[in-house]
Every structure is written in C-alpha cells, then in structure tokens.
C-alpha cells in the first residue's frame, strides 16, 4: 500500500510515522508514504491556498487549484483511481469496519484541511470518501489522518507480530475485547482468574467469549443491537439483566 497525505504541515507527521509499528511497517515495506505540502502547487504569487468565501461569512476557505494540481501530479498511469479521503467533521464516523475496507486498497490519498473548510468543488470532483474521527472539530485534518493511517496500516499483512491480534481487537468481532492478564499471577492481592492458567483451551475460549460479551453489554450495549445473538449469548444476557 502507498499513502499520500496532502497537508500544509508535513512536519507534524514525522514523529508519528517514525515511531513504533508505523516505522517498522514502513521499514519492512508493508506500506510506503509521502507527505505533500499542497502549498507547493499553488499558482498564487503570494503562495496563498485560501481565500474569502463567496457570499460572505467568517473564516477562509481552501481554494481548489492547489489541491487539484497536487492530486493530478500524484496519480500514476498504473493507479489513476486511488481512494481519496477528505478528513472532515461532516464525513462518516470512522469505524473498524471502515479501516478494514481501506486496508484492502493499494493507494490512499488523504486531504487534510485547515481554515473554515474546502471549496465544494474539491468535494464534488476529487473525493471518494469523507471521514470524521468523531463529533468534534479539530484545528486541522492532520491528527485525523494520523489516526486513520495507524488504524489501517496495522491491518496490513505482516505488520503485527501476531496475525491473530487484529481479528481479536475490540470491534473486529462486533464485541469489545475480553480482559487480559500477564505475570505475576498475584499482584497486590489481586489474582489472575484460575481458568486462564488451567491449560484447558476450550474453557479459556469460553471464558474470553463470556467476558467479551459481558464487557460489551455493560459498556457498549448499542453494539449488540447489530449482532445476531446465539442461544448461549442470549442466556448470558438474561443472566446479567436479572442479576
């Protein structure tokens, strides 16, 4: 996978992309990326990429020319139809399902805005996806693009050390993840559940499923509305509701 990020602040990405799993993924060749300062593409003699909105109003709006030209330059004959993602508070809320969808692509382009918004023609002509990372407003799209990139890249083959890690993540199965424990078996009077040290893998999996469902029931019951519950899951939920 290759990722291009259009931003006025490319230096913001250096710390995030040069650390931890993202750095290892790039070093291993699982993905490549470049940050593109679309100010470099403006034909405005003052290097401006924004202007006042037609019809009046507060703030400045990103002009279409630099972003159109940047994307024209990024597109290649081999892949002239990349997914172009606009980071925008008006977009669909980002989910694990969306991350899994984007992880199947060969080429992603993220556009990070600033100021009051984008010229609507950018949205109409260039964009395949609009994504928001939550119902709040940031000063720009860079942090959102970092979040989405991290979420997508970790799903690429070979990125995580344990290939089972991603499928077992919260939301991947439709449930929140079960509790985890490690050594020591006793810490400040708190014990690791005996079942996890029993060696009975079938019972351990049942315990993990039970705890995962219970955590979802208590913390995110809305997720269960989309789930086709098994007979056993219904029995567990009845138990918690009546307790």
Which domains are delineated in the chain? 2-153 (3.40.1280.10), 186-241 (1.10.1270.20)
pLDDT band at 135 (very low <50, low <70, confident <90, very high): very high
The reply, when asked if residue 102 is annotated as ligand binding, is no
Mean pLDDT of 162-167: 64
Phi, psi of 82 (to 5 degrees): -70, 165
pLDDT band at 161 (very low <50, low <70, confident <90, very high): confident
pLDDT for 146: 98
List the catalytic residue out of 10, 50, 129, 154.
154
Secondary structure (DSSP) of 59-70: S-EE-HHHHHHH
Instruction: Say how many C-beta atoms besides its own lie within 10 A of residue 58's C-beta.
Output: 7
- 116 annotated active-site: yes
Name the more confident of 185 and 114: 185
List the catalytic residue out of 100, 130, 169, 211.
169
The reply, when asked if residue 133 is annotated as ligand binding, is yes
**What is the longest distance spanned by two Cα atoms in the chain?**
72
Judged against a pLDDT cut of 70, whether residue 164 lies above it is answered with no
pLDDT for 119: 96
pLDDT for 167: 66
Model pLDDT for residues 18-46, shown as the tens digit of each residue: 999 999 999 999 999 999 999 999 999 99
Mean pLDDT of 52-73: 94
Secondary structure (DSSP) of 111-142: EE--TTEE-HHHHHHT-SEEEESSSS--SSSH
Phi, psi of 216 (to 5 degrees): -65, -45
- 121 annotated active-site: no
List the catalytic residue out of 116, 150, 177, 211.
116
The reply, when asked if residue 135 is annotated as ligand binding, is yes
The reply, when asked if residue 137 is annotated as ligand binding, is yes
The reply, when asked if residue 218 is annotated as ligand binding, is no
pTM for this predicted structure: 0.89
List the catalytic residue out of 69, 89, 150, 233.
89
pLDDT band at 114 (very low <50, low <70, confident <90, very high): confident
Q: Which two tokens stand for residue 3?
A: 């990722």
Task: State whether the Cα torsion 171-4-71-107 is positive or negative.
Answer: negative
Judged against a pLDDT cut of 80, whether residue 224 lies above it is answered with yes
Judged against a pLDDT cut of 90, whether residue 76 lies above it is answered with no
Residue 178 DSSP one-character state = P
Look at the block and give the residue holding tokens 């669909």: 92
Model pLDDT for residues 171-214, shown as the tens digit of each residue: 778 899 999 999 999 999 999 999 999 999 999 999 999 999 99
pLDDT for 168: 63
Please state, in angstroms and rounded to a whole number, the distance separating the CA atoms of residues 184 and 187. 6
């Amino acid at each position: 996978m290759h990722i291009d990020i259009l931003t006025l602040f490319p230096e913001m990405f250096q710390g995030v992309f040069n650390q931890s799993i993202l750095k290892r993924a790039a070093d291993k060749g699982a993905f490549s990326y470049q940050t593109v300062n679309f100010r470099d593409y403006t034909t405005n003699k003052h290097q401006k990429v924004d202007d006042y909105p037609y019809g009046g109003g507060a703030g400045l709006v990103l002009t279409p020319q630099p972003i159109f030209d940047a994307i024209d330059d990024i597109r290649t004959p081999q892949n002239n139809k990349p997914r172009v993602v606009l980071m925008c508070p008006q977009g669909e809320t980002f989910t694990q399902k969306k991350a899994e969808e984007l992880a199947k692509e060969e080429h992603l382009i993220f556009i990070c805005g600033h100021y009051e918004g984008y010229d609507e023609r950018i949205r109409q002509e260039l964009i395949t996806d609009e994504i928001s990372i939550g119902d709040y407003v940031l000063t720009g799209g860079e942090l959102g693009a970092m979040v989405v990139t991290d979420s997508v890249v970790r799903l690429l083959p070979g990125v995580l050390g344990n290939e089972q890690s991603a499928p077992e993540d919260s939301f991947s199965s439709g449930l929140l993840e079960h509790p985890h424990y490690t050594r020591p078996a006793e810490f400040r009077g708190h014990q690791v559940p005996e079942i996890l040290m029993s060696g009975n893998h079938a019972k351990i999996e049942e315990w993990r499923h039970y705890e995962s469902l219970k955590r979802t029931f208590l913390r995110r019951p809305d997720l269960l509305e989309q789930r086709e519950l098994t007979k056993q899951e219904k029995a567990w939920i009845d138990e918690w509701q009546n307790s």
